Structure 1
Amino acid sequence: MKNLSLKSGLALAALLLAFGVNAQKLDKFGSTVEKKVGPKTIQVPYTDVISYLGYAEPGNEDEVKDGKKFYYIYVWVPAVAPELGVRMLSPLTDYKNKKAIESAEYKEHKGSSDFFDTYITLERSSIVSKDDISADAVKSAKWVVLESNDDSGEMPKDPEGRNYNSLLRYKSEASNPDKALTVGLYRVGFTTYKVGEVRGTFLAEVAAPVKLPGVAMAKSIDELLKQMNQ
């Protein structure tokens, strides 16, 4: 009986381990552009992808909106883009990318199994010159939500087997100044769909179908300015 229990436990552990590895396997970030490859139609991968590894927890949120604790990652976009993609994965247990930006919070909690139900927004500010970026200017800037997403079937499932990770794609509307992807300061907002605490490791990626030399991505404005001045 004990041997049977031991075998069952080992089998379950192996299954959970396999699930955990698969859960972290991210496909290439595909754009809205599609092409035929033999009998299949595939999404053309984004050319430029910037990755940010972080850890969110109660107390380091940036704002409370509609009862939800929102966190922001700021992105400087130095050129006009036809499209931007954003995706977020939580938790982050065995992701490997040497080019990814690792925040101090992520380094401190690396390997944590904490995770949350991601909900993301892509927001554009009224700041269009890097010389105008400051903590005070960001607080008084006008922010417009271009797109949002809660659950995406394109993303790996969370440890409980649910499609609770997020992905969005936003195409620029050049004829509409309010909806165009111009040079300027953007941010990725994230929280949980339901009102509650946000805690866990995460990967956030912002991508474009064209190269954006000089793009920067950081949790704080001070950190963003340091990246931009390197």
Structure 2
Amino acid sequence: MDKLQLWLLVLTSLSEAVAQEDLYRKVFIFRNDPNEAYVVVKPEPEQPLQNFTVCLRSFTDLTRPYSLFSYATKGQDNEILLFKPKPSEYKLYVGGEFVTFRVPEIRMDWEHVCASWESATGIAEFWVNGKPLPRKGLQKGYSISAEAVIILGQDQDSFGGGFDLYNSFTGEMAEVYMWGYGLSPGKMRAAYQSLQLPPCSLGWRNLQYELKGDVVIKPRLRETMST
């Protein structure tokens, strides 16, 4: 390999490297509608899940369906999916099955959601802006596979791809977290209030991510969020 080839290889490796930084008071902006943009995030460590909690904030004026958080494995593209088909509801998928949560229509403001699930009881919780909705049953006894691809802003219909542009997210996203256990009610409220949170496998303050397509990072507008 000559020097030019070696230099090109180094540049390619650097361009494909996963970024890691503290995203405090920053947001991902998905700029176009519809779009092919997404963010790949990587939790540590990778292991099968019997329980989980996912929390994030979003800010959009979309009224069509869109995906916020997609966790896919080679055997199941909807291992975990947080999907909003219309302004008045969310769907939470676990292992290809889903439950629907009815929510108030919140227009032109930040919306904070947390979804949790436990295999032993099959109980799924959903919190919107620090308030719980009625709990529902989903996939009791199921185990979520490891070695996943986690994508923000698109719905994976195959492992790492298969996107439908008209299910893409357009808007701003921030404070994405994932735990391998269910958070207590107090910690659910703390997540909404942007307070100190327990250690997690995927956290906004030390996120490992790759931007794909037209996604940019900008400082958040403080007046649009709770803190």
TM-score scaled to structure 2, two decimals?
Answer: 0.36
Structure (1 or 2) with the larger CA radius of gyration: 1
TM-score scaled to structure 1, two decimals?
Answer: 0.36
Q: Which structure features the higher share of helix residues?
A: 1
